[in-house]
Every structure is written in structure tokens, then in C-alpha cells.
Amino acid sequence: MKIAIVGAGIVGITTAYELARDGHAVTVFERRASAAEESSFANGALLAPGLLRPWAAPGALGPARAPLLGRQALVRIASGATRADLAWLWRWRRNALQASKGPLPRALAALEQLARYSQGRLRQILETLQLDPEIRSGGLVLLRSEAEHAALAPVLQLLRDAGVVLHELDAEAARTIEPGLCPQTPLACALHLPGGELGNCRLFALMLRQAAQELGVQFTFGATVRQLHTAPAGVELADDSSPRRFDAIVLCAGSASAELLRPLDLRLPLAQLHGYTVSTPLRDELHAPLASVVDAGQRISITRLGQRIRVAGGAELGRCATHHQPTLERMYQVLTGWFPGGAQLSAGVQVWRGSRAMLPDGLPVLGLSGKPGLWLNIGHGDSGWALASGCARVLADLLAQRTPEADHGALAIGRW
């Protein structure tokens, strides 16, 4: 088949690779000048386990009881926030509170299963292509109080039931796993996940783009898609006088997806949730993380990427283009609180603010759109890097009318 993909982030590139492997003629349209320049550019780097990333899904790190307004707000409402953004936040918070009351929402179980499948598919790709995008294993979830530990109990049981290896440690044992942790910072206990993984998302995206090109995938950069067409399927670029025809279109456009779907009368509650990362050069091996740690209460992760340390956190709704300094200050405080002296903060620091298109239940939409010839692989939120390889394989199987290995029933557009 002749297939168009809209978007060359990590989701679009993995989808292009899987479809090309199946023998399709694939063209990727990307509005930026290169691949992985938006949500995939400098994300938090965490891959697995899926439910223990700070913004994996509502309720994944305990109930969302923090206030919605003020300096300690769980999600900052920035300038430009719309009524639709506020409605999304209300639904997200409702889902998070429901997760604390049990039984766990189906979304959490579905997300965990999909993330495990995706992790396995990623390993297969790395082995086949002999790639090493700075993958590291191991992870700690740091809990500052017993209350934080208790709030995680339902999710931890779900992970155990799924066969995820998980050890509950006291503070002393946690500091043995991560010797750089500051002994003066209060730590009640920690969760050790030896099978946890992290990696450089953008590096992998660029590597896989090259592999996809070798399979015949055509990438068209600087191409803004103005409109999608169905029956017959087509992609109309900003400078086109008529649509370019294809047998199928796969939409992987992240935050731009909602606008492209609206003229087709497909309205999904996608919100742009903005977050930050701070990437710094490594200063001292003895005081730096060996792999990844997540501060559950602060919803901030600290990961080791080669000779750099990356801190990820923050969540904002709205269209404000400026950095929120209190959020960045809190991220620096968490970094220096856990790993004082480990990062070089006086030079070479990269601060990045990116958006992630997210649905209120934390799950992507994957599969047929309900419109002829149009397929969707969107709405991954904070889980794009963790889910991309698995979602791409599932979509390729669905398009070929094969039964995917992963359960995808909870991802259909019909739930909205």
C-alpha cells in the first residue's frame, strides 16, 4: 500500500519503520526541519516500567489531591488556558481520584500491558539494527513519607500481578543502589525496579529514521499539512492546490492532531500538557545517579544519559510561551537535594519546554478513525517514548488485518 504518515516524532518514525518492514511504500510529512524536534526532542528519557513515570496516567503515582490553583498546584494553569483545557483537567483529576478508590481503572492496566509489550518490541529493534541510544537499566522510586508509599499500593499490586520485579527497600538499601543519593535528604523508603529502563529518545528517533530510509521511506520536512482528506485518502499541504492521494493515512502529529481532525468532525479531548527538562553535564560520578530515580511526591524524574543528567518535571495547561521560573527552581532543588554536586550547573545547561498531547485517561488512541483510509496513533502524552515501538507494531498489524500480539481494545477511538 501507499501510505502517508503525518508527523516525524518518535511515534511517526517508529510507525514508518514498522510499515516499511511490512513492505508498504511510506511517505512521512513533518512540519519541522528535522525529525524529533517537538515532544521527542528532550523528554524525560524514562521507558519502563510504564506506570511509574511521573505523568504516565492519572493516579499512577497516587491520588491527585494537590490543589488546582496556587504555587503547589498539581497542574499549573498558564495564560491562554481555555475552557476546554479546564474541562480536561477536571476529567483527569476525577480519573486520578478514582484510581485511589479501587478497583483500578482499566486504563492503568491497559497502559502497563502496552508499555511492557513496547519495551519488548524496542529491544528487538535495538538487537536487529545493533543500535545503542544510551539505554540504561535500573530505577528507583523515592518516597519521602509512608503516606506516599501507601498511596501507591494499588499500582504496585497491579505491577506485581503482571510479573514486574519490584523490591521495596528502606532508605539505607536505596542508597546502596544509588550511592550518590544525599544522606541528609529525608527518605522513608524506595521502590527498586531492576528491569526499569531509560534511553535517549531523540537519538533513537534519528537512528531509526536512517534505518527507515534504507527501507525506502521518504521523509518530507518543512511540510505543513493543511488538511486531511478521506474517501479517497489524501494529504493536502499548505502550498498544494490539490491533495496528494494515498491508500491510507496515519496521523501521528501529536499536539497538531486535534486541529487536523476537527474538519473531519472527529473531536477528541486532547490537551497540550507542557513540561520541562533540564539537561546538565555530569560533574562528579560519585554524586550522580547511576540510572534513574523518580521523586514520587514531587513528580520529578532524574536520569543519567551518558555523560549528562536530565531532570524532568512540571505540568502546565495553556499557551504561555515563557518558562515558569518557580517550576524550574523546584526542579533544580530536587536535583541538588538528592544529588548535590553531581551536575554541572554553571555551564552547558539546556532548558527545554515541550508539549505532550494527552487524553484525560492517559491512554493513546490507536487504530481506525471511523473515517475511510484514516488511521490514528496519537494522544500518548508523557508515554510517547515508552509506547511508540509497541503502538507502531500494533498499528502495522491492524492495517495488515493481522491480530496484534498486544491487547489494544482499550485504545479504540470509540471510547470517546
Q: What proportion of the chain, given as a percentage, has pLDDT over 70? A: 95
pLDDT of residue 49: 74
Give the residue-averaged pLDDT of 266-272. 94
Q: What confidence tens digit (pLDDT) does each residue in 19-48 have?
A: 999 999 999 999 999 999 999 999 999 997
Tell me the three state secondary structure of residue 372: coil
B/e letters for 163-201, b = 16+ CB within 10 Å, e = fewer, are: ebebeebebeebbebbebbbeebebebbbbbeebbbbbb
Which amino acid, one-letter code, is at 323? H
CA 44 – CA 198 distance, rounded (Å): 9
Burial class (CB in 10 A: 0-12, 13-18, 19+), 414: exposed
- Please list the residues that pair with 230 across neighbouring strands: none
- Quick check: 411 and 363 in contact, CB under 8 A? yes
Pairing state between β 365-368 and 350-358: unpaired
Averaged pLDDT for residues 251-269 = 95
Query: How is domain 69-104+140-194+271-358 classified at the architecture level of CATH?
Result: 2-Layer Sandwich (3.30)
Instruction: Determine the average pLDDT of the residues in 67-92.
Output: 79
For the chain, the domains span 69-104+140-194+271-358
pLDDT exceeds 80 at position 103:
no
SS3 assignment, position 282 = strand
SS3 174: helix
Nearest 10 degrees: Cα torsion 283, 290, 58, 154: -150
Q: Which of 351, 335, 333 is nearest to 276 (CA)?
A: 351
- Of the candidates 341, 397, 368, 372, the one whose C-alpha atom is nearest the C-alpha of residue 21 is 397
The helix (H) or strand (E) run that includes residue 375 is strand 374-378
- Average of per-residue pLDDT across 192-201: 94
Q: pTM of the entire structure?
A: 0.95
How does pLDDT run across 10-26, given as a tens digit for each residue? 999 999 999 999 999 99
